[in-house]
Structure 1
Amino acid sequence: MKQQLENLRSKAAELISDTKDQRILSEIRTRLLGRKGELTSILRSLKDLAPDERGQVGQLANKIKAELETLFDRAETALQQKAESAKLATEFVDITLPGRRFIPGRTHILNRVADELIEVFAGLGFQLAEGPEVELDYYNFEALNIPRDHPARDMQDTFYFSDNVVLRTHTSPVQIRTMEKQKPPVRVICPGKVYRRDADITHSPMFMQIEGLWVDKGISLSDLKGVLTEFVHVYFGKGIGLRFRPSFFPFTEPSAEVDIQCVICGGSGCRTCSQTGWLEILGSGMVDPELYKFVNYDADIYTGFAFGMGIERVAMLKYGIPDIRTFYDNDMRFLTQF
């Protein structure tokens, strides 16, 4: 058996030195040293040897196996280096070309603005709340005081999966879901993607909204004005004025649109603000008592207010971006500016 091992050593050394192909060398290695290779077959016969001879042969077998493994490794390395050298010899490499610059990733401008808005309202005591983007008609419309025959539905071109399942058109359903699970006081901010069938320079089929809700005992319109005034001054600067204009929303009464002083011209009038000096930024109002019936709140005890704004619109106003579509064009020349 010792002679068999020596013969295997000589045979392997000869094959390794004669082989010039990496694939063939790998096949030889498997044939000689693999689980079903020649060395393994020899080792299976150790059980037939006398105990004293078995130890000597086993040691020799392990020594020869280690030697052959080293030979195979060296040969594979040499063949690989030879193949790489041959490849480089036939390929032209311009070593004067500059290296490829690594461009680090960064937060998308809309996500950054969303994080900034959340931080502002968190400082005012609002907690983060989230909900599904595929929503039931009940939460998207019915529980917000918008029944099927309500004209306000015509204002929101909706993507329907079925009669009762839609892509949410606003983040207001999160407010209903939150009030269902939580008794007052409720003070939440609800950011997220929403969907409507609009597409032009100021509208996108998918866009981002952030809405706020505060329900408790004794909440009044003055609280709403105080919160929104503080938000505008923190986010846009203390010198920015704001005004409330009467409006209509099915889920608030009274309702108001909120305008801020034009950030482009400072209120003197320009093309961006249509020479008015004001820019619309959000809608707001006191929660309509009808909504409390859907969440089992006592309207005689609790009052509250809600507001909502488009995150794209806030970003456009703060950074002077004229076209909402640029947020979704994935043009790195635009995105890397922020």
Structure 2
Amino acid sequence: MIERLQELEAEGLAAVRASENKKSLEQVRVQFLGKKGAITEVLRGMGQLSKEERPTVGQKANEVRESIQTAIAEKTRVFEEEELEQRLEKEEIDVTLPGRPVQQGSTHPLTAVVEEIEDIFIGLGFSITEGPEVELDYFNFEMINLPPNHPARDMQDSFYISEDTLLRTQTSPVQARTLQKHQGKGPVRIICPGKVYRRDEDDATHSHQFMQIEGLYVDQNVRMSDLKGIFDTFVKQYFGEDREIRLRPSFFPFTEPSAEIDVTCGICAGEGCRICKFSGWIEVLGSGMVHPRVLELNGFDPEVYSGFAFGMGVERFAMLKYGIDDIRHFYTNDTRFLSQFQHL
């Protein structure tokens, strides 16, 4: 039996050397090392051997198996190196060709608009304050003079997570949180940028998610004229020195008096056109003097302090500035659209 194993070793090594490819090498492995291979057949006859002979035969069988396995592994490595050489010869690379340019991204237009607005208001003495997007009803509504069952809540159909928790419908709760942190002592001069959510139809001018920047200025002797002066300066810096503003009476539960702020149409320069519905003016944001009840709810004495607040949609300001006709362009990740703003 020892002699038979020596013969199988010689035959196996010769078969490995004669193999021409991986397929024939696999056939050699199965023929000699497989479950039904030649070495296994020899080992099945060990039951006929004496106890003294079995260890010697078993040791020799392992040596033969390892010898053939080592030869197969070395031959496999040779075949793989040959395959690599052949592939390298076929796959020619011209190292003198210029490399492919890396396509650089750019600032998203909404981010650019937010940063521009922030820079302007920082220059006017405001600071940037942020708050949570998942908000308590207490801050989102109650602390800005919208108690439960107030009819004005219908204007902001909301995404509620629980009975008292929702995705914020505006950044006003940041104002309420900031006022309470000041514990009744002014001044407070902040703007609050961030995403807000309302259950709204998605069309060219509406989205269930959009960005908003609200502002708040509370101090002693703050007047409506301060609001007008701030926004006259802001509009001229953002849209251009030739633009004018006007204030129209309006209603918001958290301000009294309230006003819509319009800016002269940039297309017709105030003469009247289809874009501005031939009025010469385009509405850009809501504003007003902080309601005394809001001051009182958040710990400020309305007899001592007054202030103004405002809120603007970032998408609206971007659309007006860059002539974008559909709010959905901001959220579709279309590189054809975004590539137009690489200069920002």
Q: What is the alpha-carbon distance in structure 2 between the residues aligned to residue 220 and residue 137 of structure 1?
A: 30
Shift of 1:134: 0.3
Structure 1 counterpart of 2:205, which letter? T
Structure 1 position 241 matched with structure 2 position 247: no
Aligned residue runs from structure 1 range 289-300, under 5 A: 289-300=292-303
**1:83–1:202 distance in 2 versus 1, CA, 3 Å:** same
Deviation string 1:123-145 (CA, Å, 9 cap, x unpaired) is 00000100000000011101110
- In 2, distance between residues paired with 1:204 and 1:94? 51
**Residue identity in the other structure for 1:190:** C
In 1, the alpha carbon distance for the partners of 2:227 and 2:306 equals 11
Matched with 1:174 is 174
CA contact (8 A) 1:249 1:255 kept: yes
Residue aligning to 1:206: 209
Of 232, 257, 260, the match for 2:260: 257
Q: TM-score, normalised by structure 2?
A: 0.72
1:186 aligns with 2:188: yes
CA contact 1:216–1:303 (8 Å) conserved in 2: yes
Equivalent residue letter for 1:195: Y
Determine the structure 1 residue equivalent to 2:273.
270
User: CA offset at residue 293 of structure 1?
Assistant: 2.0
> Match for residue 39 of structure 1?
none
Of 267-276 and 226-235, deviating more is 267-276
Provide runs of 4+ in structure 1 moved above 2 Å.
Answer: 77-101
Call closer, same or farther: CA 1:81–1:243 in 2, change over 3 Å: farther
What is the identity percentage for the equivalent residue pairs of Structure 1 and Structure 2?
58
CA RMSD of aligned residues (A): 2.9
Q: Is the 8 A contact 1:264 1:320 kept in 2?
A: no
Q: What 5-or-longer segments of structure 2 have no aligned partner?
A: 1-16, 23-76
Residues 126, 189 of structure 1: 8 Å contact kept? yes
**Structure label with greater radius of gyration:** 2
Shift in CA distance, 139/89, structure 1 to aligned 2, threshold 3 Å: same
Query: In structure 2, do the counterparts of structure 1 residues 92 and 248 end up closer, same or farther at CA, with 3 Å as the change threshold?
Result: same
Q: SS in structure 2 opposite 1:212?
A: strand
Q: TM-score by structure 1 length?
A: 0.74
- CA displacement at 1:101 relative to structure 2: 2.8
Letter of the 1:170 partner, please give it.
Q
Partner of 1:223: 226
Q: Would you say the 8 A contact 1:159–1:196 is kept in 2?
A: yes
Partner of 2:133: 133
SS in structure 1 of the partner of residue 260 of structure 2:
strand
Equivalent-residue separation in structure 2 for 1:311 and 1:83 (angstroms): 59
In structure 2, what is the equivalent of residue 163 of structure 1? Answer: 163
Q: Given the superposition, is the C-alpha separation of residues 134 and 301 from structure 1 closer, same or farther in structure 2, using an over 3 Å criterion?
A: same
Pick closer, same or farther for the CA change 1:311–1:79 going to 2, 3 Å.
farther
Residues 88 and 247 (structure 1), Cα distance of their counterparts in 2 relative to 1, 3 Å cut: same
Structure 1 distance, partners of 2:80, 2:98, is 27
Could you list the runs of 5+ residues in structure 1 that have no partner in the other structure? Answer: 1-17, 22-76
- 1:186 corresponds to which letter in structure 2? V
Task: Indicate yes or no: 2:339 matched with 1:336.
Answer: yes
Cα displacement string for residues 17-49 of structure 1 (whole angstroms, at most 9, x for unaligned residues): x9x99xxxxxxxxxxxxxxxxxxxxxxxxxxxx
The one-letter code of the counterpart of 2:87 is: K
Give, in whole Å, the separation in 2 of the partners of 1:201 and 1:185.
39
Secondary structure of 1:154's counterpart equals helix
The aligned amino acid for 1:162 is S
Q: What is residue 110 of structure 2 aligned with on the other side?
A: 110
Bigger shift: 290-299 or 137-146? 290-299
* Per-residue Cα deviation, 1:80-131 (whole angstroms, up to 9, x for no partner): 8755433344668799998543111211000010000000000000001000
State whether residues 130 and 192 of structure 1, in contact with CA within 8 Å, keep that contact through their aligned partners in structure 2: yes
